Chain A
Amino acid sequence: MAEVRSAVSSAFALPEYVREISESHQDVRALRLALSELRPDSWDTDVIQALDQAIQPLARSNGVRVFRLPGKDYLICFHRDQTDAVRSLLIRMRLLIPDDPLTAHLLNPAGQNSPLLTWWSLDRDFAVLRSMAKRIEAVAMAKAETAAAQSQTKPRPDYSRSAAFAEGKRAETAPQRPQGIDDEAPDGPPPGLIDSTGSNRPAGSDRQPLDADILDRLISGLNRADLSNHVRLQTICAVVGGAPPQSLYSEIYVSIPKLRDTVAPQVDLTANRWLFQHFTETLDRRILSWLNHEGPRLIRGGFAININVGSILSDAFLRFEERVAAALHGTAVLELRVEDVFADLEAFTFARDFLHQRGYRICLDSLSPEEMALLNRERLGVDMMKLFWRPDLPELLSQGPGAELAERLRDGEGATTILARCDDPAAIDLGKSLGITMFQGHHMDKLLAGGGGR
């Protein structure tokens, strides 16, 4: 899809284009498509993606140039011969945008301005384009300066106290608790392990911290990205006694670092927990809508997806649910994050009961032993809890509150626990000793492939 993405240019390419055509813009027209004027509820991710796809073929044909302006607008520059092609695109777009009164303007004759469309003839209005390019250049300069200034002067947050709390091997400088930041695993590392050990990549401090502007761009990028390139599957399997592992179902997930590398390689996503939560929620919804198109084939044999309560209580999920019901012949597991569950317990309870009635299992995802020790699975009414393996887990579970958790696991909770991120045979040994029968991770992948078993 790389060549597809390059068909629509960034706004920052506009100044170059303006210089390019400064001598040769006879019979060239420009059209600003002010999609930002549409009602926000028109901005379903499906719609954004559909519009972006619709515009691609034109952007690659007959010298037409399409620029993506800030705020979801497009600028299309084309020779007057292409006017009909542009108009057919507008007519197509009208069908793609649901129920917005402004879309009627898409059918207006060429040259007729409206809140949605502004036409210029560059023979006459080239100066308009030039000043637009200048503004964009100024913004780019300012951004670069701000970024440079920030990277030099912005103090790192003071987490020194967290170090006092963090025992043993927990990292001092990285108290973030995001999900899915490891390169390969479907879920994030345990709290406290993100930047230092959760990833092989350089620590987050090399990157620009996630802020509102970056988040905005990231989400636009996410809406345009082809998720097919980022979706991964990992099997959850049962291991009982000496029997070979049995595949139970597959978790469908997006590798956040890979996605980050595509849409925002220099960004430390975990620098702001609240913005990161918003990002994961956006991602979950995006995957849901992607699954609506691509899913049935993937989910047939049983699946797990990450989702949030807000998305379960949405039309997108009801649509997905209808399709799943038709295609599914296996376990359907929805994985929720603990912070999302507790953000609105009433909504969670309702969603949980609805899901149970429809036959789904609910798994509480990405738990550290400390978190799991705090939670009561039965009272939460969830079916499974996913505990993350880490090398110091055996030690943690042998003393203090960890020992209580180990006792609970041996007393029966092990049967409803998945030990995930098992990269090491030691994880299986520990799991078995705690009565855990469900495992996930690279080591299990190898065993299933008949490779690195013991």
Chain B
Amino acid sequence: MITGNAFLHADQSLLDSLARMSRSIRGREAIYIALSRLRPRNRTPIRVRIAAQLFAPLVAGYGCEVFILSNGDLVVLGTDMPPSALEVQGERLRALFRSDPGSTSEDSDGNDPFLTLYDLQRDRESLRLKVEELGRDHVELIESQRKDVQTERAKDEPLAPGHLRHIGRALGNLDPQPLVQRQAVLRIDEDRHGRFQYEEYFVAMAEVRQACAPNVDLFANRWLFQDVCRQLDPRIVAAITQLPLPKPPIGVGLNLNLETVLSPAMERLHTALPKGSRMTVEVQVIDAFTNLDRLGQANAWLTKRGHSLVLDGVSPRALAMIDPARLDVGGLKLTWDPDLADPAAIWDGPHPKALIRTLGVDRIILARVENETALTWGMAQGIHSFQGFFVDRVIGATTMAGCPKREMCTLAQCVERRRSAAGPTRGACPNPPHLDSVTRLHNLAGGLGGRSASGNPAAPQGGAHG
């Protein structure tokens, strides 16, 4: 059992232990686990402690000592251990982090950068040097990070039930219209021509927070955050109906709580949409699974009126666990992850490629398309619908190419103004009638990413707003 003082923290204690064992070093060994190589999400203090806890059986059974070093790495010291006991436990720990590329067992030099075993009779000095070096490099960094985290924490209170009443009032007084942004979902056909499938309208929660609860960390509590979203929904729905919306065949996309979809406000929104407009409602996975009984109702209600329901924010790893084919939704938004295009990435279960095929490529929108790799990968899988900053940039570049006042703006400005559905950002465009003119993109063949406003962008064509 690991007791308080068996969990020795920090480098100096380890160095002291190494120094003390100079006389009795026979049968001593150590394993060094480079947790600091992992992605930030896997190196939080609690995950490091959990990793350490995996050695509990060796602490209880063989009196091993576990050291959590200042950079988050682990060292476990053992004496007269059964052969490979440390190594086996190390491999089990690696398995826990298997989907993290930092846990790889072989780098380009053929070494194992994650786990290192030390026979201390022979290697004590090299372990000592490694730990000493680490102390010099990391202490300052860690301290400064710790201070940053503390200041950040002191600034924002984590969202608690006590905040909700105040936030509810603030949301009631909020005019969300200037905060509304939009982002196009682009449908690219077999001939590589693109057209706007729908414009998603949304409000960035960071901006809502700034306006309604600047000192509260809204994201600190997922359930209460959802309640804030629930309260915000009717305000957004009301704001959307006041905006000039795209005309069919370009649809309207909205992020909503299922409760909102089944509320009277939705009937009003349906009536307020341009005639024949298709609405795509995106719901979060957390909402879908908390309210599975409402999911089917919402889907049925929307489908009956010619709209559709899409499951939002599905990560490729979630895809295998959700088994979306069994879910009562029209489609899903798959979040791009660079691992998708990485042949070395480890997936539990079938590869997302296979799952996408099973599900049907037409039901998938690849979202967070940040670069050309993502788009190319998606197209290679047969996916047709894309959304993300890269898509925004292509649209922006095409918009600028056809704009006589393009010299007055940068691509980033054009993209930002197009994203803004209303309000001052949009007003800064020197040629507002042209800002929404592009709704189709032609010849989206190779070399997409290299094009810019002044280059040779995909040929624009006046769309519904032209």
Contact = CB atoms under 8 A, between A and B. Distances in A.
Interface string B64-95: 00000000000000000000000000001001
Query: Which of A212, A274, A321 has the most chain B CB within a 10 Å cutoff?
Result: A274
8 contacts: A40-B157, A40-B158, A216-B162, A338-B289, A342-B290, A343-B222, A343-B289, A381-B321
B50 A345 contact: no
B288 A342 contact: yes
A255 to B, nearest CB: 22
A314 interface: yes
B50 A354 contact: yes
B315 interface: yes
A318 B292 contact: no
B227 A379 contact: no
Contacts of B42: 350
Interface string B114-158: 000000000000000000000000000000000000000000011
Contact of B348 (A157, A322, A343, A381): A381
B320 interface: yes
Given A162-B293, A165-B296, A272-B227, A379 B320 contact: yes
Given A215-B161, A318-B49, A376 B227 contact: no
A22 B395 CA distance: 75
A325 B315 contact: no
A373 B317 contact: no
A161 B262 contact: yes
Contact of A313 (B47, B160, B289, B327): B47
B292 A371 contact: yes
A273 interface: yes
B377 interface: no
A292 B414 CA distance: 58
Contacts of A371: 292
A16 B100 CA distance: 62
Query: Which of A211, A314, A374, A380 has the most chain B CB within a 10 Å cutoff?
Result: A374
B50 A191 contact: no
A1 B438 CA distance: 71
B224 A275 contact: yes
Contacts, number: 160
Contacts of B321: 345, 349, 376, 379-381
A275 B161 contact: yes
Interface string B292-335: 11101100110000000000000101101111001100000000
Interface in B158-179: 158, 160-165, 168
B96 interface: yes
A314 B326 CA distance: 33
A313 B227 contact: no
Contact of A216 (B54, B161, B286, B297): B161
B445 interface: no
A184 to B, nearest CB: 23
A402 to B, nearest CB: 13
A277 B293 contact: no
B289 A162 contact: no
A275 B222 contact: no
Interface residues of B, number: 61
A180 interface: no
A277 B164 CA distance: 15
A158 B297 CA distance: 13
Interface in B257-308: 259, 262-264, 285-286, 288-294, 296-297, 300-301
Contacts of B163: 212
Interface size class of A (residues with CB under 8 A): 35 or more
A380 B317 CA distance: 11
Nearest to A155: B264
B41 A159 contact: no
Contacts of B326: 373-376
B161 A379 contact: no
Nearest to A218: B161
Q: Top 9 A-B pairs ranked by shortest CB distance?
A: A212-B164, A342-B289, A339-B290, A274-B227, A278-B223, A277-B223, A165-B297, A216-B161, A215-B161
Interface of B: 1-3, 41-42, 46-47, 49-50, 53-54, 56, 60, 92, 95-96, 99, 157-158, 160-165, 168, 221-224, 226-227, 230, 259, 262-264, 285-286, 288-294, 296-297, 300-301, 315, 317-318, 320-323, 326-327, 348-349
Interface in A335-375: 338-339, 341-346, 349-350, 353-354, 357-358, 368, 370-371, 373-375
A342 B286 contact: yes
A105 B168 CA distance: 36
A175 B261 CA distance: 14
A90 B314 CA distance: 51
Contacts of A166: 293
Interface in A127-185: 157-159, 161-162, 164-166, 175, 177
A113 to B, nearest CB: 23
A158 B264 contact: yes
Contacts of A370: 292-293
Given A162-B294, A350-B47, 18 more contacts: A158-B263, A161-B301, A164-B300, A175-B294, A212-B161, A212-B227, A274-B226, A274-B290, A275-B224, A275-B227, A322-B1, A322-B3, A322-B53, A325-B60, A345-B318, A357-B92, A371-B292, A374-B292
B253 to A, nearest CB: 22
A211 B163 CA distance: 12
Given A175-B293, A343-B286, A370-B292, A212 B96 contact: no
B46 A314 contact: yes
Contacts of B263: 157-158
Contacts of A175: 293-294
B49 A281 contact: no
A278 B292 contact: no
A168 to B, nearest CB: 14
Given A343-B222, A353-B95, A375 B323 contact: yes
Interface in A306-350: 313-315, 318, 321-322, 325-326, 338-339, 341-346, 349-350
Nearest to B98: A353
Given A213-B165, A342-B286, A353-B95, A274 B223 contact: yes
Query: Which of B99, B221, B262 has the most chain A CB within a 10 Å cutoff?
Result: B262
B166 to A, nearest CB: 9
